[in-house]
Amino acid sequence: MRGSATDPSTAPGRRPALVRGRTRRTAAAAVASAALLLPLLGAAPSAGATASGAGDDTGRLQRAFASAAAEYHVPLSVLLGVSYLQSRWDGHDGAPSVTGGYGPMHLTDARTALTRVSHHGGSTEDARGDSARPALHPTATVPTPSQLPARLKTLTAAAGLTGIAAERLRTDESANIEGGAALLADAQKKLGEPLSADPADWYGAVARFSGADDSATAAAYANDVYDVIRSGERRTTDTGQRVVLAARPRLAAHTAQLARTGLRQVSAAGTECPSTVSCEWIPAPYQEFGGDDYGNHDLGRRPQSERIRYIVVHDTEGTWDGVINLVQDPTYVSWNYTLRSTDGHIAQHVKAEDVAWHAGNWYVNATSIGLEHEGFLAAPDAWYTEAMYRSSARLVKYLAGKYGIPLDRQHILGHDTVPGPTTSSIPGMHTDPGPYWDWRHYFELLGRPLEPSAGKNGGLVTIRPDYAANRPDYTGCDTPGQPCAAHGSSEVRLYSQPDTSSPLIKDIGLRPDGGDSTTDVNDVASRVETGQQYAVAGRQGDWTAIWYLGQKAWFQNPAKQATAVNAAGLVVTPKAGVDSVPVYGRAYPEKEAYPADVPAQAVSPLPYKLLAGQKYVVGDVVPGEYFYSVTFTEDSHKVVVGKDLYYEIQFGHRVEFVRAADVRLQPSGL
């Protein structure tokens, strides 16, 4: 999906979608006694340390937590643990999260986070990406605001409890923390529990603070908070504040309090989720409209019929309630899971054995699982909560373990790294979750931190900037062509020479006329992303060159603030005597592999070439494979597997494929 250039305070969305030719239903959007801990010693201020209110007092926020805890008789460890799960103690300079949450305590006022346009609008991408049938460009009416649930109005409640003005709760971190402490104390009182100094006695209040209306989600949230308290945390926030939560490894929360919260029970029956998350089944409809027209996914028999190789990370470009309505529309498209930002709650819509229409490339759809995260690409400060990151990581680890999916960026894809299946589709491919998704933190939560795996002669680099300190310029978040707010990013920009005044790397697939790349937030032509690996093509001072889209591409990589680490692995290069080999956006079988009752699909090369002397990192070797599924009934569904093998490679910002017969496989250090 693409992020729109709109006002982030009213929640960005996508550009208007193409109408599929059928009237669509309206999708409604509702969318202490603990001792003061020593500040971190030797921690350097983050890139955001100059934000308003930071000054030189790096212990100010720690004292604010201690003061609020004492005033409202909330254990300091509980207040710190809740805030960490909400925001990792960051204030985001008063900007709202994707659900209208503000400050370190993520106090919500979701009138600022109502979506304005449809979920899969904003591009020419065919969600199915299957050229065997007419392109699908769904649309939906713009969701209208409805009565908001209590979880999206906690800032108003905090204002009532504290007497602090709403605007101050949004922008003043100390006031925001006080508001959060007041909400926790109020929840404890409503449960009939004493304002105890023992953090074990606050499990029920923490569960209620999540805002969840069901016990499973509230329990998953509370368990995460207590995990944080047991393990302890310390970090420097986006305003340079040093905050420490001392570990209490033997703390045992009084989980029986959950039964007294009065929260509803939600069944996880039918879901494919780990027990460590809260999950419910909200099915996407499989419905026939007449003839060969049906929606909004295909029935399959994965992994028996074909292997599940990828997990695709999306953002919704809409708020939870509106998006949930859309996936239940049989005339819309589908994905397998949606994750809620406020508390990490998960809804599953399509079984893993079936094929959802989500990635814009039928080969990827047929071999992947799609996860939509409540969020907005083009809003730098519409931040994701730690609760959602953790819930997503647990789900991905579970799915990866179940289906044998490697935890690397060649298999855990962003929608923005899914290749266009044909030349004409490349310009319209979606670009979410975009440069503000924190891939480095995500892989830490996955238990696969992005570490160096070789010395300088390993031949590869893994892109790994410091998210907070890495702040490339982007445009088009609010207004086309205008600068986006400065913000941490997972992406690094590429130049044609080791000089920031030189032209950006060009992408002939995006711009066949040879037009220049831009710094627009949706323009992925000249950007590499955290976790991606590339073959080194040269080094010069603080600059490193890589092979990218058939070109030598340079990025800044100074030793004192490195944006990549050294790695080693397998690469491909054209076979000896071959000047270039074609590059493909899908790994389809050769014509001879198709049975008589399945129309052969074109093995159509993209406009790119893998040139002699260049090397590209191999992510996997896959068979030529095509899932034929163009009818509502399953009797004609078939998986065609050819003899041709393909290598999946990191070719540009997106992964691509080359035929194994065209290239030579070798270690990267050669």
Give dist(CA 435, CA 526) in Å, integer: 12
The alpha carbon torsion through 110, 429, 432, 335 (nearest 10 deg) reads: 70
The residue count of the chain comes to 670
Supply the pLDDT for residue 122.
54
Q: Are strands 355-356 and 346-348 parallel, antiparallel or unpaired?
A: unpaired
* DSSP-derived secondary structure for 26-89: B--B----PPPPPPPSSPPP-TTTTSTT-TT-TTHHHHHHHHHHHHHT--HHHHHHHHHHHHTT
- Residue percentage of the chain with pLDDT more than 70: 88
Supply the pLDDT for residue 295.
87
Amino acid of residue 31:
V
Q: What is the mean pLDDT of residues 136-147?
A: 57
> Do the beta carbons of residue 346 and residue 446 sit within 8 Å?
no
Supply the pLDDT for residue 140.
55
Q: Which residues contact 416 (CB under 8 A, 6 or more apart)?
A: 429, 430, 431, 432, 433, 434, 524, 529, 653, 654
* DSSP-derived secondary structure for 86-146: HHTT--GGG---TTSEETTTTEE-GGG----S-TT-SS---SS--TTS-------BPP-B-
Single out the residue of 587, 22, 33 nearest to residue 294, CA to CA: 22
Which pair of tokens denotes residue 435? 């440069």
Supply the pLDDT for residue 152.
85
Most confident among 135-144, 312-321, 655-664 (mean pLDDT): 655-664
Supply the pLDDT for residue 267.
85
Which pair of tokens denotes residue 63? 């004292």
Supply the pLDDT for residue 11.
33
Which range is least confidently modeled, 482-486, 607-611, 642-646? 482-486
Supply the pLDDT for residue 96.
83
Is the pLDDT at 52 greater than 70, yes or no? no
| Cis, peptide link before residue 433, omega less than 30° from 0 | yes
> Do the beta carbons of residue 97 and residue 341 sit within 8 Å?
yes
Is the pLDDT at 9 greater than 60, yes or no? no
| Residue given tokens 């080969």 in the structure block | 363
Q: Phi and psi (nearest 5°) for 573?
A: -145, 155
Q: What is the mean pLDDT of residues 179-194?
A: 97
Give dist(CA 96, CA 383) in Å, integer: 7
Residue 226 φ/ψ region, left for φ over 0, alpha for ψ in the -120 to 50 degree band, beta for the rest: alpha
Single out the residue of 203, 221, 3 nearest to residue 123, CA to CA: 3
Is the pLDDT at 3 greater than 80, yes or no? no
DSSP annotation of 415: G
Map residue 420 onto helix, strand or coil: coil
Is the pLDDT at 34 greater than 60, yes or no? no
Give dist(CA 28, CA 376) in Å, integer: 18
Q: Which CATH architecture has domain 1-449?
A: 3-Layer(aba) Sandwich (3.40)
> Do the beta carbons of residue 274 and residue 395 sit within 8 Å?
yes
| Cis, peptide link before residue 472, omega less than 30° from 0 | no
Supply the pLDDT for residue 129.
82
Which pair of tokens denotes residue 219? 């329990």
Is the pLDDT at 345 greater than 70, yes or no? yes
Supply the pLDDT for residue 147.
59
| Cis, peptide link before residue 470, omega less than 30° from 0 | no
DSSP annotation of 427: G
pLDDT band for 41, please (50, 70, 90 cuts): very low
Supply the pLDDT for residue 130.
81
Give dist(CA 125, CA 118) in Å, integer: 14
CA distances in angstroms from 23 to 19, 133, 138, 141, 326, listed in the order given: 9, 21, 11, 9, 13
Supply the pLDDT for residue 524.
97
CA distances in angstroms from 355 to 150, 366, 585, 649, listed in the order given: 35, 6, 19, 23
Q: Which residues contact 234 (CB under 8 A, 6 or more apart)?
A: 40, 43, 242, 243, 244, 245
User: ∠170-171-172 over CA atoms, to 5°?
Assistant: 110
For residue 384, the tally of other CB atoms under 10 A from its CB is: 25
Which range is least confidently modeled, 332-341, 372-381, 400-409? 372-381
Q: What is the mean pLDDT of residues 445-467?
A: 97
Largest CA distance in the chain: 80
Q: How many helices (H) and strands (E) does the chain have?
A: 11, 28
Q: What is the mean pLDDT of residues 188-217?
A: 96
> Do the beta carbons of residue 309 and residue 368 sit within 8 Å?
yes
- The helix (H) or strand (E) run that includes residue 177 is helix 173-190
* DSSP-derived secondary structure for 543-577: EEEEEETTEEEEEE--GGG-SEEEE--EEEEEPTT
Supply the pLDDT for residue 531.
98
Q: Specify which residues 29 forms β-bridges with.
A: 145
Is the pLDDT at 576 greater than 90, yes or no? yes
Supply the pLDDT for residue 389.
95
Supply the pLDDT for residue 459.
97
Q: What is the mean pLDDT of residues 648-662?
A: 98
Which pair of tokens denotes residue 290? 């007449």
Supply the pLDDT for residue 120.
54
Of residues 233 and 56, the one with the higher pLDDT is 233
- Residue percentage of the chain with pLDDT more than 90: 75
Which range is least confidently modeled, 261-270, 341-350, 392-401, 584-593? 261-270
Residue ranges covered by each domain of the chain: 1-449, 451-568, 573-667
Which range is least confidently modeled, 11-15, 166-170, 504-508, 604-608? 11-15
DSSP annotation of 261: S
Map residue 321 onto helix, strand or coil: helix
Is the pLDDT at 81 greater than 80, yes or no? yes
Q: What is the pLDDT of residues 230-283, one digit of tens each?
A: 999 999 998 999 999 999 999 999 999 999 999 998 889 999 999 999 999 999
Is the pLDDT at 649 greater than 80, yes or no? yes
